[in-house]
Amino acid sequence: MNSGCGCNAGAPKTSHLCLPVPGRDQGSGTLPFRPSWKTVDELRSIVDQGDTVEPDILIISFMALGYRYISQAAAKTDVQLDYDGPLMKTEVPGPRSRELTKQLSEIQNADAVHFFCNYEESRGNYLVDVDGNRMLDLYSQISSIPIGYNHPALLKLLQQPQNLSAFINRPALGILPPENFTAKLEESLLSVAPNGMSQIITMACGSCSNENAFKSIFMWYRNKERGHSKASKEELETCMINQFPGCPDYSILSFMGGFHGRTMGCLATTHSKAIHKLDIPSFDWPIAPFPRLKYPLEDFVKENQQEEAHCLEEVEDLIVKYRKKKKTVAGIIVEPIQSEGGDNHASDDFFRKLREIARKHGCAFLVDEVQTGCGATGKFWAHQYWGLEDPADAVTFSKKMLTGGFFHKEELRPDAPYRIFNTWLGDPSKNLMLAEVLNVIKRENLLSNVVHSGQVLYNGLQDLQARYPHLISRVRGRGTFCSFDTPSDAIRNKLIANARNKGVVLGGSGERSIRFRPTLVFREHHAHLFLNIFDGVLADFI
């Protein structure tokens, strides 16, 4: 068995420990940790000294054959934020989780439940379950925890008396907003508004953000066609019975493999897994192929360019075809990285050209940043990598942003009240928390952290791919938004289950990919810790 620590000493694994010094091996193409052997007693005395230990030193103890690693992040400031490593007491799900799942199953389908959690005990990058297992969480609630569990800055925010009312009194924001509503939106969402977007509407989740962005696009398109915003009597009457012209046959073009939510409109643009769509009536809206890139990218430059050009041609053909069919494409929706659909990437150039096509044909260009937004790729918005000259028309968000919603250009602004509306229109307590999350992101320079720890993770995955090519292929990623393919769905699921029993929570995406969606406080030493553990999982895999 290969511990992956680079140790070639003959001593039993329990008697020595590996002290990697992260950062120094980057880009070397070797495993991202440097062996420097110490005895257990030597290490104990280093740890006991506390603040004299180098902050970025990770101590990993290789425990005989069980591959149980214990990391010690020595930086003292981290102690209140994060645990020092996984701690496994049972298999996952353990007995308590299984019992609770059984109870839940009596009142709802609980087949999707992985295990039950103890959120009070969870900290930073570590999720604790009800059986007392503490796991390094690289999935972070389907990519929705921005700065780790129980971040002290958020705990403090909730303890401030002046904030309590925002949590207790949830308003109908569209009609009765609190005094500080605009100020809080400016402090939170508008402070990170994508280029070109002055308008913001908050929503509860990702699906309703996309759903309402579609509606805004359709209204905008109709007003554009009419030349004004005054509906005719016929339109007002026919819309009440779901008929043309009050309900025009517009469409939204989406991509195969895309995921934009599970509500009815969104589902018509979601094409990741059949289970989401089965038995639900849908629209005849155009679906374009999304590039399927070959890796490593540098070996397939020409093929990938051709693949992208072909997809873009299809987009234009579909727009023309659907206009002829009188199902005019009013908007195009796209994810910067197709996430649920298998972590499918395309080049920045592909997206720039797609934006041009949208403009050329008068379609709105909607970027779904529900999963990619809020820093996970190393830029606040993943589409910032594209360097668009003409910004997108609308950008939807949710997950790590804590509130759903969308930014949009002025042209897409609803022309009358109640056209884009629901009871809550988001939740001001989430805006309050988001403002603090953004402070932490800025204060702790977390976007740089994501770039840095993402690079360590990516390099390590490349290395694992070279050593376990029968299990890992197509390593890809931006920031910590990394992924790789496995040979099959069954192998992927087994790798995820094995990693979990060793103290690492991973997520799947698409048919056979494993995706990384850690929090923004995932540091270099967490990447090393994961790589060590996963190396063991791969080495043991049968």
Ligand X SMILES: Cc1ncc(COP(=O)(O)O)c(C=O)c1O
Of 14, 39, 52, 423, the active-site residue reads: 423
Residue 263 Cβ, how far from ligand X at the closest point, in Å? 7
Q: Among candidates 480, 464, 252, 418, which has minimal Cα distance to 472?
A: 464
Residue 342 Cβ, how far from ligand X at the closest point, in Å? 12
Q: Are 503 and 86 in contact (CB under 8 A)?
A: yes
Question: Would you call 386 helix, strand, or coil by DSSP?
Answer: helix
Active site residue 481: no
Whichever of 188 and 209 has its CB closer to ligand X, that residue is 209
User: 404 vs 196, 332, 478, 515, CA distance in Å?
Assistant: 19, 20, 23, 22
Whichever of 214 and 534 has its CB closer to ligand X, that residue is 214
User: 123 vs 150, 293, 312, 371, 399, CA distance in Å?
Assistant: 6, 37, 44, 22, 18
Residue 64 Cβ, how far from ligand X at the closest point, in Å? 40
Of 82, 137, 343, 368, the active-site residue reads: 368
Q: Are 368 and 210 in contact (CB under 8 A)?
A: yes
Beta-bridged to residue 39, according to DSSP, are 16
Active site residue 423: yes
Active site residue 368: yes
Amino acid at 239: C
Whichever of 193 and 376 has its CB closer to ligand X, that residue is 376
Whichever of 210 and 216 has its CB closer to ligand X, that residue is 210
Residue 66 Cβ, how far from ligand X at the closest point, in Å? 35
Number of H helices, E strands in the chain: 16, 17
Residue 217 Cβ, how far from ligand X at the closest point, in Å? 16
Q: Are 204 and 404 in contact (CB under 8 A)?
A: yes
Q: Are 249 and 327 in contact (CB under 8 A)?
A: yes
Q: Among candidates 49, 67, 71, which has minimal Cα distance to 59?
A: 71
Q: Among candidates 370, 454, 350, 314, which has minimal Cα distance to 143?
A: 370
Question: How far is 74 from 21, CA to CA, in rounded Å?
Answer: 12
Whichever of 128 and 217 has its CB closer to ligand X, that residue is 217
Q: Are 537 and 506 in contact (CB under 8 A)?
A: no
Question: How far is 427 from 444, CA to CA, in rounded Å?
Answer: 26
Whichever of 254 and 328 has its CB closer to ligand X, that residue is 254
Residue 200 Cβ, how far from ligand X at the closest point, in Å? 17
Whichever of 25 and 368 has its CB closer to ligand X, that residue is 368
Cα–chain center distance at 402:
12
Q: Are 212 and 459 in contact (CB under 8 A)?
A: no
Question: How far is 315 from 362, CA to CA, in rounded Å?
Answer: 13
Q: Among candidates 410, 313, 304, 292, which has minimal Cα distance to 357?
A: 313
Whichever of 57 and 402 has its CB closer to ligand X, that residue is 402
Of 13, 399, 409, 502, the active-site residue reads: 399
Q: Among candidates 538, 523, 531, 521, which has minimal Cα distance to 152?
A: 521
Whichever of 205 and 505 has its CB closer to ligand X, that residue is 205
Q: Among candidates 340, 336, 343, 347, which has minimal Cα distance to 374?
A: 336
**Residues in touch with ligand X (CB under 6 A):** 205-207, 210, 259-261, 335, 339-340, 368, 370-371, 398
Gyration radius (Cα) of the chain, Å? 25
Of 259, 365, 380, 406, the active-site residue reads: 259
How do beta strands 134-137 and 126-128 pair? antiparallel
Active site residue 399: yes
Residue 478 Cβ, how far from ligand X at the closest point, in Å? 15
Which helix (H) or strand (E) element contains residue 143? helix 140-143
Task: Tell me which residue has its CB nearest to ligand X.
Answer: 206
- The DSSP line for 277-307 is HTT-------EEPPP---SSGGG-HHHHHHH
Residue 322 Cβ, how far from ligand X at the closest point, in Å? 22
User: 39 vs 17, 44, 73, 366, 533, CA distance in Å?
Assistant: 7, 9, 18, 57, 21
Whichever of 328 and 396 has its CB closer to ligand X, that residue is 396
- Show which residues are catalytic: 259, 368, 399, 423
